[in-house]
Every structure is written in C-alpha cells, then in structure tokens.
A and B are shown apart, each in its own frame.
Chain A
Amino acid sequence: MTLLDTSKPGSPEPWGTPLLDVDNLHVEFRTRDGIARAVNGVSYSLREGETLAVLGESGSGKSVTAQAIMGILDTPPGYVTQGAVRFRGEDLLAMSESQRRGYRGTNIAMIFQDALSSLNPVFSVGWQIAEMFRVHKGMGKKAAMAKAVELMELVNIPAARERVRDYPHQFSGGMRQRIMIAMAIALDPDVLIADEPTTALDVTVQAQIMQLLKELQRERNMGLILITHDLGVVADVADRIAVMYAGRIVESADVHDIYARPAHPYTEGLLASIPRVDMKGQELSAIKGLPPNLMSVPPGCPFNPRCPYVQDICREKEPQPPYQVDASHTSACHFWKEVRDGSFR
C-alpha cells in the first residue's frame, strides 16, 4: 500500500523560473472542405516543477497545441499561422528545423496515448531506449545499453536486465507506457508533455503510471503538461488547469480554485455532468448540444449555443482576451462573476 500524496500549496508563483511560454498560438488545418481553425490564440506558461493540466474534449485543440509546441504538426494540412513558443526565452517557432531538432527530446519530450504504435515493433525496447543515447549523446553501443537497463529499472520494469532485449509486443499496455516514459525522460528533458498517457490503460494501471510520472517529475523538477479529458486524473495531480474549448482556453486557474468555484459555464457544466465514484443519487446535468464544427465556429463566444446562461452579448462579442478573475485565474466568459458566485443558479 502506498500513499499518493500530491497536495501542494496553491499560491500563484512558487514554482521558480518560467520554462515554457506559449504565446497567442494559432494553428489551422487547410483541408479539402475548408479551413479548420484548431487553435485560436492559446497562451499558457509552465514553470519548473509545475504540472499544468490541459483539459478538453476531442476537437478542443489540446493535442494540436502540444504538437505545435513539439514541432511535430503534420504539415500539410496543419499550419502554425501566428504566435510564439518560447523555451527559456528562445522562440522555437522562429528556429530552423535543424535547430529545433536539438530541443526535441533533450529539452522537451512527449509521451503519447498509444504506446504500442509509438514503439517500433521490429526493434527490442532496449535498443530503442539506447538509441536516444547513441544519437543524441554519441555513446557507444554497450554504454547505451547499460543506460537503457538503468532507465527501465527507474520506471519500475521488473527484471529489466533480462527484459531489455524483449520486443514491444511482449509487454503489457502498462509496461509499454513505462517504456515510453523511459524514452521520454532518457535525456533529462526540462519539459515533459504527456498526451492522454493513461487513457488506454486500466484504472489500476493508470494509478501506477500517474504515480510514476509524479515521482519522476518531483525528482527531476520537470515541468509537466498533462493533456487529458479526465477530470478525475486532473484533480489528483495538477497544480494548474487550462480548460480548452473550440481551440481556445476558456478558463485557467489553480486546481483547487477551479473545482471549487468555476468561473466559466463550460467548466461548470463539465463538473456537473460527470458521475463520481464517491457519490450516489446525483442527477447528471448534461451539457446540451455538441462541440462546434471547427470550420464554422459560431460568432461571439464559441460556447454560446450550448450555454445555459447565454445573453445577447455572448452572440456578438467574443470574450477574448479572457477576463482576469484574480491574479492566477482567468475566464473567457462575460458573466464570470455571476457564474463564479452562483448568482445564475
């Protein structure tokens, strides 16, 4: 039995220097049927040792933002049209591709939802982890392999020494995700982006993986961007949360604040619509309607057709840039005050 204690004080700036700064990022997909604006002016920043959860449904632009940060966006059809991604002050988007490659893996690393398809089936896992050291650090074959074993032990793969020559399909889903994590942290990155790292896993395995990520982050003082749709996982591990909808950040705040007093109707709706394992008999109040088509986002606030509190101004004026609720809390809702203190209820 292990106690997973992830609580941290919630004051706004205890996390050291800014590490990654996403500034007014715009991404669009030019498809046969038209232009889909997947990311529309997303800004967030990450500090050392901080966990930022980017929460959103499919189509909200949360993964596309991460791909743009990593520079692994499929182009075409995806294009970054505006904005900056600064790593320790250096704009990654202004760099040449070869310069950027130097940052990938060594400074910013990423793990994906589907560990099986992210690993190459024809090479042993040890070889794949060792490759990181051979390519980036110019290590010899033997030394790199020894490093691979070390890393596999670090991510708690039992009998790492024996299993280093096994192939991806010989591992279970949870173990494969551990191997992906081992590869991601191999070069000691400053920022780790985890895109739905536990969505494909069972709940008991999910708990193991989240615990591992949290431990590694603490040891290495990494900044962690956790991309997920799971409000439960977020509540367990995040320091700050950015809620995305239709390619915009509609609310961002400290985790305790946002769960206790959401200031955007979408966040509020999400919290009211999920069943909780520690609760019985609550009525699920579903958010009506569907997320908008990114080719034709409604004018004004993109959430207005689904919003229970919609007013005339919401159909005309988009609440951007977001309102400052307090020093560390923003909301892209004209009526954030009313939502927050519940006077609409």
Chain B
Amino acid sequence: MSDVNSADAAFSAGTATAAAEPPTGGDGASGLPAAGEKPRSLRGDAWRDLRGNPIFLVSAALIAIMVVMAAFPGWFTTRPVGKADLSLSRQPPSSDGWFGYDLQGYDIYTRTIYGARASILVGVLSTLGTMAVGVVAGVTAGFAGGWVDAVVSRLTDVFFAIPILLGAILVLSSFPSDVETPELVIILKVVAALVILGWTGVTRIMRSSVIQVKQADFVQAARALGASPVRIIVKHVLPNSIQPVIVVSTINLGGFIGAEATLSFLGIGLQPPVVSWGIAINDASQYLRVSPHMLLFPSFFLSITVLAFIMLGDAVRDALDPKLR
C-alpha cells in the first residue's frame, strides 16, 4: 500500500498537468497547431501513445489472460477444483500434474487457475470501492472547502495513520468467517477491510486535483454564466481532475491483490472454501524446503498479476501526462 502514499505527493504536483494543456512550447518546438488536421481529443492522443507502448501492450495482454482465467477457469483446466487425492500429497510436477500436487493432494495447476478469480475480484472490487469513496470524499472536500474540507481532511489523516495490515486484522477479526460463510461474503469482507483502510490515498489526490481545477478560469467562466454547482462539478471539475485518480487506482489494483494475499497468508483474509493464491501460499509456506513447487506457482502468478497492473498504471500515467510529451 505504500504505493498510495508516495504517489500522493507525486500526483498533487501532477494534477496541474491533468487540468492544463500540453504546453505549447513557448518559443520552441511544438509551436502552433497545424491547421486542417482532424479533431483530436486529449484522450485520443493518450490512446495513440498507449498503442505504441510495448509496456502497455505486454501488461494489458497479461491482464487480459488473467481476467479470462478468472471468468472462465473451465477453459484452462478440465479437472474439478474440489477434487483431492491424498495419495498424491505433495507430489512434485509431472506430466500428469503439471504444477504438482499440494498437501491435500489438490492439483496445483487447477487451484492456481481457479485462484485467479478471488484475487482479481478482490483487486477490482477494492479499487472500485476506494475510487467511489475517495472521489466523492475528495470532490466534496476540495469543492466545498472551509469546514467541510477541514473535517474530511482530518478524517483522512486519522485513517491514513492506521497501518493497513493492523487495521485489516482489526476489521476482519471483528467479523470472523467460518466454513459456513458463503464464498462471496468472505471476499466482500476482505474488500470492505481494504476499502476502509485504502480510500484515503485516492481522497487526497482527488482533493488536491479538484482544488487546482476549481481555480481555473473556465470554472470561473461557468460560474459567471450562472451554472449550478452540480453542473460545474460534472461538466468541468470531474473530467479535468479524475485522471490522476485513474492512474493511481490502476497501480493500487496490484497492491490490493498483494494485500489480499498477505491477509490470507496471515490467516485472516480469505479462508477455505475460497480458492486463492494467498491461501495457497499460506499452505505452502510450511513445506517450503521439502516441496518448493507448492509455493512457486501461486507466487509466480501473483507476482506477474501485481506487476502487470503496476506497469499498466505507469504506462497510463505517462500517456496522460502531457508534460512528458
């Protein structure tokens, strides 16, 4: 989660560029817009940039594979996920079980494929949750200002001060799950814990971004025309301030998947019957010396997915930041 903290500082500076134009290059290069070219939006420019960026292409492809795996695990394996054969316990990889078998005799390949779903669900839902809370709180604080801003900002500081793991342990142990709890409820509990502790970063970025955009002349012009606050927020402030949040959230997504694995590893995140990479890593940790393959495959998938999201976030930031052009 330290991504969020460090990114905060970087992006409060970066927001200016989100609102501002690509620099016209003063006395220098980029000069004036060429007449007669077809309309090109800023977003279109960013997209053109992304399509030519190998880092974006690789990470997007990896993420696409993971998402398909999460949605349709049956396309990748024919074995049922719940089938265990104790006689195969801790068998190393072979032509029969490509990734080997775990302690209970589950096929690790099948478990890894099925594990993508929980990990990606937690990542995506936590990201959407933090974005929703963070954008609303950040816009409220930044746009209203005054005491509203003071209250929201102090509240942000309080939550920001809680270490995410400690906080998550606190939240999750207050609402314990057992074997009877449905799979989705367990996942949602973990998501809730991550959102409660993770919204502050997005809020801070959104707030500083909104404050910057709010002062722009085009917002003043809309006010001078008599536009309502809702119109100003929706038409002028949000579209010009959301970019840094999108970038940071993409990076955060990887972080949330990692955090889920950590929580599951500690035994308080996802729990059986849910199948997840974190749980698999937890199970494997005691047999690291004798059966390293149990750890290797789920960790590898986890790392690749986290890395893919962070790289995607980086690529998106570069594309959206007109200063780098």
Contacts and interface: CB of A to CB of B under 8 A. Distances in A.
Contact of A38 (B28, B32, B33, B34): B28
Contacts of B25: 29, 59
A32 B325 contact: yes
Contact of A31 (B26, B27, B29, B32): B29
Interface in B118-168: none
Contact of A60 (B27, B30, B34, B325): B27
Given A38-B28, A63-B26, A64-B28, 7 more contacts: A29-B25, A29-B30, A36-B31, A38-B27, A63-B28, A292-B32, A293-B32
A175 to B, nearest CB: 25
Contacts of A10: none
A61 B26 CA distance: 10
A59 B31 CA distance: 6
A294 interface: yes
Interface in B267-325: 325
B44 to A, nearest CB: 14
Nearest to A33: B30
- In this complex, the interface size class of chain A, counting residues with CB under 8 Å from chain B, is 20 to 34
B34 A296 contact: yes
Contacts of B33: 293
5 contacts: A29-B30, A36-B28, A78-B28, A292-B32, A294-B31
A290 B32 contact: yes
A61 B297 CA distance: 58
B30 A36 contact: yes
Interface in B19-76: 24-35
Interface of B: 24-35, 325
B24 to A, nearest CB: 8
Contacts of A290: 32
A33 B33 CA distance: 11
A295 B27 contact: no
Contact of B29 (A62, A77, A291, A296): A77
A81 B8 CA distance: 41
A6 interface: no
A38 B26 contact: no
Interface string A238-259: 0000000000000000000000
B27 A293 contact: no
B34 A29 contact: no
A82 interface: no
A58 interface: yes
A33 B24 CA distance: 13
A58 B26 CA distance: 6
B29 A29 contact: yes
Nearest to B24: A58
Contacts of B28: 29, 36, 38, 59, 63-64, 78
A293 B34 contact: yes
A64 B27 CA distance: 7
A140 B33 CA distance: 52
Most chain A CB atoms below 10 A, which of B25, B31, B32: B31
Contacts of B325: 31-32
Interface string A21-38: 000000001011100101
The 9 closest A-B pairs by CB, nearest first: A29-B29, A63-B27, A36-B29, A294-B31, A59-B31, A293-B32, A293-B34, A31-B29, A58-B27
Nearest to B26: A58
